[in-house]
Amino acid sequence: MLSEFDLIHHYFTRAPAADDRIALGIGDDCALLQPKPGTRLAISTDMLVEGRHFLAGADAEALGHKSLAVNLSDLAAMGASPIGFTLALSLPAADPDWLAGFSKGLLALADLHGCSLIGGDTTRGPRNICITVFGELPAGAGLRRDAAVAGDDVWVSGALGDARLALAVSLGEIPAGEIDAGLLALATRRLDRPTPQVALGIALRGIAHAAIDLSDGFAGDLQHVLERSGCGATIDVDALPCGPALTAQPNARRHAWTLAGGDDYELCFTAPSDLRAAVIAAGLAAGADVTRVGSIDAASGLRLQDRDGNPLAIAPVSFDHFLST
Amino acid sequence: MLSEFDLIHHYFTRAPAADDRIALGIGDDCALLQPKPGTRLAISTDMLVEGRHFLAGADAEALGHKSLAVNLSDLAAMGASPIGFTLALSLPAADPDWLAGFSKGLLALADLHGCSLIGGDTTRGPRNICITVFGELPAGAGLRRDAAVAGDDVWVSGALGDARLALAVSLGEIPAGEIDAGLLALATRRLDRPTPQVALGIALRGIAHAAIDLSDGFAGDLQHVLERSGCGATIDVDALPCGPALTAQPNARRHAWTLAGGDDYELCFTAPSDLRAAVIAAGLAAGADVTRVGSIDAASGLRLQDRDGNPLAIAPVSFDHFLST
């Protein structure tokens, strides 16, 4: 059997990155970063647990991709540019096939974003993947949750709900035969290999006020912005961009899963209404669709309405890891 | 039952630290750090798994202490001064008693070192604690593993082996009755609540060449320094500082567990032989014992000998999370 150090070396060690922000990478007691003068270091951490965030037997390569993607999505929501990440991995056994697939998916996405593996830890135990990611951004440029202002537009990137639809099929909530096979494949890709909106987050610096990434569901995540910013919002639920697979579904399901599907990894952000052209230009530059879905109000609370302005009595609940069972 | 967000708020949220290196703490997509100009950010991560690093039913407060201590020990080994940490926590249930104890032990040690909780993640799953810690140090001041030089002295802080002795008793390898109760209590405290040598690491900046923290056992950890520095060492095994409980044990056990006990969380470091007085002054300033145990050689390999210079044929094996079962 491979030793722990063989494992690390074989699957995860690579030539040191030619990145002058990384003074020392993997292999010492600590990694050393030296962010550029005038910048701040953005840090986020996410833990993925087998049986909760992914199923036993999940494709290892997709899981490697997703583990880093959900962390990069947090950097995107702050407008930070990726530098590197640490990986702590608990595994039931040193399975070379699994490690080869996982590291391939992980490092391919890391390469795409110039985000180097700078440190880690491996241990035996129930399968658990904990990544902490580092990015940089100019001082004062962060897209914080507490920065929404009454009168701001509310925007969403990409499209929502298809990941939830794919999850519903994989959980047997919906028979697979009910969904067009091609659309289901698209939706499954959304669930398994989300694309973090890193370029959009960077392009929105100086344009957007507040931002958050949509991991638990639009309504619940937007609530965090509203609470921290001390304001409310009115949202046109029919304007919420809907993924191609979910679009063909009944209205109630479409509303529910664009509002509170989870696992979207798109950005929700607010921006002054006189910067609409700049927001659209940022989306174009970043290769991301951006859709205006409502506005920020001075009065607290989240008001949901349909296209005709009729209030919707939906009580979307954000995903909570300790309440759901 | 408490919701995930209630959990975080109740046990882990505190008044923001008055620390101008932390531009934004817990509660957004990312934390933001702004290290002082001319400094580098040191980063390390460690994952602790129930059944491997601690037993089910372990005292929550001690576990909170130890989870951060092992990470601070990595900062100490780089000579870095703590700034903050992220905590990712997987728990089988939201148990208020456990959370109260764990957060108490964790945050008390954090306060002692001015190390703020700046971000985190909580989820339901098998008990797993993953901490990533951040420190700072002047550019060029890091105590790296690859910096040992032939002719350097090899030093060890504190005393070794008592944690392993306490583990042996808790595993039933040694009957508790064989050890004096007071000494066993001391040894158990070493195992459960290690003291990271943060002040010593900082005091050794500009004095020590290489350093590593002793988590897996002296001989195995020193081997990492030797391999990365491209040199060897000769160690007087009888000079290795031995904890008060282990001192009373037979010679073979004393040798084995000072060499390869694990869980010591002391520093092993090398320094030029003309700086012996400076090393001792650093130990005095930091309140840490420092003991000279051998020297770095140009020839590769680790040579172990007794007080009289007789070679010892001991093949100490470092702890490996995937080989041991």
pLDDT in tens, B115-151: 999 998 999 999 999 999 999 999 889 999 999 999 9
Contact A142 B77 (CB under 8 A): no
Within 10 angstroms of residue A314's Cβ, the number of other Cβ atoms is 13
Helices (H), chain B: 4-7, 60-78, 96-112, 162-170, 181-192, 198-203, 218-229, 244-247, 251-260, 276-286
B124 → closest Cβ in A52, A88, A126:
A52
pLDDT value for A56: 87
Structure confidence at residue A59 (pLDDT) = 95
How close is the nearest chain A Cα to the Cα of B181, in Å? Answer: 33
Which residues of chain B lie closer than 8 angstroms to A43, CB-CB? 30-33, 86, 118-119, 132, 134
Helix (H), strand (E) at residue A60 = helix A60-78
Please give the CATH number for the structural domain made up of B4-138.
Answer: 3.30.1330.10
* Contact state of B31 with A42 under an 8 Å Cβ cutoff: yes
Write down the mean pLDDT value for chain B.
Answer: 91
The two structure tokens encoding residue A3? 């030793």
Q: Which residues in chain B are closer than 8 Å to A130, comparing Cβ atoms? A: 45, 47, 88, 121, 128, 130
Helix (H) or strand (E) holding A155: strand A153-157
Of A4, A43, A47, the CB nearest to B30: A43
CATH class of the domain defined by A145-305: alpha beta
Residue stretches of chain A with pLDDT short of 70 = 1-9, 314-325
Spatial distance between the Cα atoms of B163 and B263, rounded to a whole number of angstroms:
6
Distance from CA of A125 to the nearest CA of B (A): 6
At residue A99, the pLDDT reads: 93
Give the tens place of pLDDT for each residue, B248-297: 899 889 999 999 999 999 999 999 999 999 999 999 999 999 999 999 99
Residue extents of the structural domains in chain B: 4-138, 145-305
> Tell me, what amino acid is at A142?
G
Q: Hey, is B131 helix, strand or coil?
A: strand
Option in A35, A90, A145 nearest B128 (CB): A90
Query: What's the pLDDT tens digit per position in B92-107?
Result: 988 889 999 999 999 9
What average pLDDT score do residues B40-63 get?
94
> What is the reported pLDDT for B9?
67
Distance in Å from the first CA to the final CA of chain B = 36
Cβ contacts of B206 within 8 Å, gap of 6 or more = B141
Judging contacts by C-beta atoms under 8 Å, the chain B residues touching residue A75 are 29-30
Collect all residues of chain B within an 8 Å Cβ-Cβ radius of residue A223: none
Mutate to test the interface with B, among A30, A116, A229 (most CBs of B within 10 A): A30
The answer to whether B48 and B129 have CB atoms below 8 angstroms apart is yes
| Cβ-nearest to A3 among B49, B52, B320 | B320
- By C-alpha distance, the chain B residue nearest A92 is B322
Q: What angle do CA A254, A259, A260 make, to 5 degrees?
A: 105
CB–CB contact A322 B146 (8 Å): no
Tokens of A298: 């001075």
Pairing of strands A211-213, A128-138: unpaired
d(CA B136, CA B117): 16
| Tens of pLDDT, residues B149-197 | 999 999 999 999 999 999 999 999 999 888 999 999 999 999 999 999 9
Residue B47 to residue A88, Cβ atoms within 8 A = yes
10 Å CB burial of residue A178 (0-12, 13-18, 19+) is: exposed
pLDDT at B94: 85
Instruction: Kindly report the nearest CA distance between residue B215 and chain A, in angstroms.
Output: 11
Instruction: Give just the sign of the alpha carbon dihedral A7, B64, B11, B33.
Output: negative
For the question of an ipTM over 0.85, the answer is yes
Q: What type of residue is A59?
A: D
Q: Cβ B49–A128 below 8 Å, yes or no?
A: yes
Residues in chain B within 8 Å Cβ distance of A212: 29
- Beta-bridge partner residues of A124: A91
Q: CA torsion A21→A25→A29→A30, rounded to 10°?
A: 20
Average pLDDT over residues B39-49: 95
pLDDT at res. A323? 44
Three-state DSSP string of chain A: CCCHHHHHHHHHCCCCCCCCCEEECCCCCCEEECCCCCEEEEEEEEEEEECCCECCCCCHHHHHHHHHHHHHHHHHHHCCEEEEEEEEEEECCCCHHHHHHHHHHHHHHHHHCCCEEEEEEEEECCCEEEEEEEEEEECCCCCCHHHCCCCCEEEEECCECHHHHHHHHHCCCCCHHHCCHHHHHHHHHHHHCCCCCHHHHHHCCCCCCCEEECCCCHHHHHHHHHHHHCCEEEEEHHHCCECHHHHCCCHHHHHHHHHHCCCCCCEEEEECHHHHHHHHHHHHHHCCCEEEEEEEECCCEEEEECCCCCECCCCCCCCCCCCCC
CB contacts, 8 Å: B128 with chain A: 47, 49, 90, 125-126, 128, 130
The verdict on a CB contact (< 8 Å) between B122 and A321 is: yes
Tell me which of B35 and A50 has the higher pLDDT.
A50
Considering only CB atoms, which chain A residues are within 8 Å of B90? 47, 49, 128
Which chain B residues are closer than 8 Å to A123 by Cβ? 47, 49, 52-53, 321
Residue A227 makes CB contacts below 8 A (sequence gap 6+) with none
Chain B residues near residue A53 by CB distance under 8 angstroms: 123
Match 């063989």 to its residue by tokens.
A6
Residue B20: the pLDDT is: 84
Cα separations (Å) of B253 from A38, A155, B21, B170, B183? Answer: 54, 66, 46, 16, 16
Q: Closest approach of chain A CAs to the CA of B270, in angstroms?
A: 15
**Secondary structure (3-state) at B197:** coil
Q: Best mutation site among B11, B26, B28 for testing chain A: the one with the most A CBs within 10 Å?
A: B28
Of B44, B49, B89, the CB nearest to A119: B44
Of B4, B40, B211, the CB nearest to A34: B40
Are the beta carbons of A3 and B145 separated by less than 8 Å?
Answer: no
Placement of tokens 């953005």 in the chain = A42
A90 to B32: CB separation less than 8 angstroms, yes or no: no
Query: How far does A179 lie from chain B, in Å, by closest CA?
Result: 31
Q: Tell if the CB–CB gap between B145 and A29 is shorter than 8 Å.
A: yes
List Cα–Cα distances, B262 to A244, B143, B220, in angstroms: 55, 21, 9
Q: pLDDT value at position A268?
A: 98
Distance from CA of A13 to the nearest CA of B (A): 15
Chain A residue with minimum CA distance to B80: A30
In chain B, which residues have their Cβ closer than 8 Å to the Cβ of A89?
A: 47
Using the beta-carbon criterion (under 8 Å), do A41 and B34 form an inter-chain contact?
Answer: yes
pLDDT at B1 over 50: no
pLDDT at B59: 95
**Record: contact A45-B86, CB cut-off 8 A:** yes
Type of residue found at A158: G
Nearest residue of A to residue B126, measured between CA atoms = A126
Taken in order A266, A271, A276, A277, the sign of the CA dihedral is negative
